[in-house]
Structure formats: structure tokens, C-alpha cells
Structure 1
Amino acid sequence: MRDGHGSTDAYYVAKYGQKWVRTRTIIDTYSPKWTEQYTWEVYDSCSIITLGVFHNCHLGGSEKATTGTATRDTKIGKKMGELQLAVRFTSLSLAIMIYIYGQPLLPKMHYLRPFTVNQIESLRYQTMNIVAGRLGRAEPPLKKEVVEYMLDADSHMWSMGRSKDSENQMLF
């Protein structure tokens, strides 16, 4: 039970590259359903779309929300769950797709002087703070703990998809 009477005020966040979306909050249920549509341009077959479901601590009769103490939006469930997602692929321009696939995977300087592990961690932390600041001013705002979770800020595993995503975040 999130707010004492067997329900939660849920919203989800979806992220692909630089584009983040936050749904409306579904109030007072443990079975939220959203019928929202979002569009992303995808150029890489190894693309990663990250989804997270969170409890909005600022709505409803939550005792912390009414007492005025600082609260955090918390994730609901684990990093796995059931999701029904419809995907539609279209091709807008073959020339743009060929141009994108013709680019090197990483910037040229990365091959000449690769970053150290400490530099990568420092850049990841700085990027997370910049993105959290920007999304904290969005409407509706995303709290820092949500951004940290969605960016896997505490993860030390490396993947090509995550490195491309971090690079995209730094380019916004």
C-alpha cells in the first residue's frame, strides 16, 4: 500500500535519446492504464527505449505530502514488469537514414585519446545533474530521483546503447 488505502498515484516516464516524456498521473489505483502516443525518430536497430513507473508523492492523501516534509517520487515495482506496447515503423527519408548509418559510431577523438574510467564517471554524473536540472523545470517537472533512475546513474556497466544515449544527452 502506497498511501495507506491500497492504491497508488502512478505515472510513467519514457526516454529515448534526448526525448523524455512523462504521462499524466493516474490517481488511486494499482492497475493504471495509459493510452498515450509518442513519436521518436529511430535510426539504430539497437535502440533502447527506457520506461519507468513511479508513484507521485505529491498527490492524494499521503501523510508525508500533508505534513509538508520532503518526499521523493518512488519507483513502482522492479526493473521488470508487464508492458503492452504498440510500435509502428515508418521511413521518412532514405537519404537521411543512409547519412546517419554512414557516420562513425563514436567521435574521432575517442579513438585517438579515449576517456579514462574516472573521466567517464565524472561526465556521467555531470550529465545526470544537467539533465535533472533541465527536466526539473519542465512541465510537469521530473524530480532528480526519477532522472537518476531513468539514466541508471548508479550503474557501472557499459553498453553501446547507453554510451550513445549519454552522448545524446550531452548534445542537447
Structure 2
Amino acid sequence: MKKLTLLRHAKSSWDDPVARDFDRPLNDKGKRAAAIMGKFIKRNDLAFDQVLASPAVRVIETLENVEPVSGLSFEPQWDRKIYLASSVTLMDVLRGANADADHVLMVGHNPGLEDLIFDLVPDDGSSEARDAVEVKYPTAALAELSLDIDSWSDIKDSCATLNRFTRPRDLDPELGPDYA
């Protein structure tokens, strides 16, 4: 049994005039949301054996805002393949995770993370968490999965259960879409 936690980067700034999407930084709301998720990680005693992350600026800044309040020290493995990756590519990255890692945190982007959940978790109509992901996988949301595999190389469609899906607005309503 392996555990996978997926964290979508926090809200980035579209007002910042950067030349490339890759270089977009977080906005203030995104920084607050990332810190709230870091507190959630600490409160729930989540710990990760390996962190796989996109090297996009908004992912780096998300981790910089999660780390100090989570009580954890991240040493991410930056992987350009995660940047705007498809579910298929994300599964390939996970197949290369450290063999001795029981719990992996992957930090990246949509729609890839959302599609990865849809591929890994069967749609049997019994998961409220999966239904919530179908509505929207917002920025800084955290999905926790259990995978019925012994080795990361065995990851495949329909091998997981979505245990919990937590959005920043679930922890602080002011981080929801109705607030600026």
C-alpha cells in the first residue's frame, strides 16, 4: 500500500507582467491559501517520504509558503515533466518515485492533477471526495489517496481510493471564490 498526496499550486497572479506562464508568481490570496494548507498538513500529521514538484515559480512559491507552517522540511525533486503534464505523464513520473517512499507528495498543475485522480480512482458513485473533484480542483487544494500497490512502478488506472479532498475554502471561507 502506497500513499499519494496531490497539491495543486496556490493561486497565481495574472496581473504580474511575466514573459512566460512558467514564471507567474503567487498572488496574496495564493500565499494565504498555501499557508492555510501548510497548517492543515501539520494539524493532520501528514509526512512525506518524497516530494515531486514542478519547477514553475508558482509551485516553488506554494511550497515556500506551505513549508514553514507545516513543521516539515521539504527537499523537492524538481521535475520539469510535471509542469502542465497530462495524467499519463504524471503516472510515468510516479513510476520513477523512490522505491522506499511510502508516501509521496506531488505538487503541480491542473488539469493534470485532476485527471490523475479520475484515472486512479474508479467512479463507482460512492466517493463524495471524488464528486467534489469533478466539480472543481481549485488552487491549493489537497487530495489524499491510498494506492493498492506495493511498488510505484505498479501504478495504474483504478488502483486508488480518494481518502480526503481539502480545499482552502474548507478551512477558511474567505479563501473561497466569493471573496476577492
TM-score by length of 2: 0.28
TM-score by length of 1: 0.29
- Bigger relative contact order, structure 1 or 2 (CA pairs below 8 A, ≥6 apart): 2
Please identify the structure whose Cα radius of gyration is greater. Answer: 1
